[in-house]
Amino acid sequence: MKKSLVLTLIGPDKPGIVEQLSALLANHGGNWEQSSMSRLAGQFAGILIASVDDAAESALMNDLQGLEQQGLRVLATADQADLPIREGRTVRLELLGNDKPGIVREISAALASRNVSVDSLETEVVSGSMSADLLFKANAVLLVPPGSDLDDLQDALEAIAADLMVEIALAD
């Protein structure tokens, strides 16, 4: 029987990390299913969903823990496949404005207070094209629960946008 594992990885970035991970999985008959990996501040950071036969799980976990000797920390968690299916409307959020502390805190508080889940979030700080000012960019995929008032969410986000002097757009 196959078991899904969620692996979280972090360590100093260097060539060959993905190859090492994929080789370990392949050596244990595992399958690389879904991942998101990045280089952040000189660190390799990633999350990976992999499946492996129950009989090979223990040996795979031992080999993954062996990567710590090379500076790569790995946290493995069994997939929670028995959790209820989440329902709702998927909405995209785009934000752009001058960088300042607190932007993510303000937006995430408005989302959480309305039980909106953040399914994915990508952020970056970039130089403005017309000035040397730093701009904060965010793109998110949100899951808005059934029965939620999307106009209320839009109004709350627009109020935050005005206070923070950023542009926010919601789209299906």
Question: Would you list the domain boundaries of the chain?
Answer: 2-78, 89-171
Closest CA to 118 of 137, 95, 100, 92: 92
Reading the chain (172 residues) residue by residue, the pLDDT tens digits are 888 999 999 999 999 999 999 999 999 999 999 999 999 999 999 999 999 999 999 999 999 999 999 899 999 988 776 667 788 999 999 999 999 999 999 999 999 999 999 999 999 999 887 777 899 999 999 999 999 999 999 999 999 999 988 999 999 8
Six token digits for residue 138: 């965010």
User: Could you name the CATH architecture of 89-171?
Assistant: 2-Layer Sandwich (3.30)
| Burial group, residue 6, by CB count within 10 angstroms (0-12, 13-18, 19+) | middle
Give how far the C-alpha of residue 5 lies from the chain's centroid of Cα atoms, to the nearest Å.
Answer: 16
Cα angle for residues 129, 133, 136 (degrees, 5° grid): 85
Instruction: Name the class of domain 2-78.
Output: alpha beta
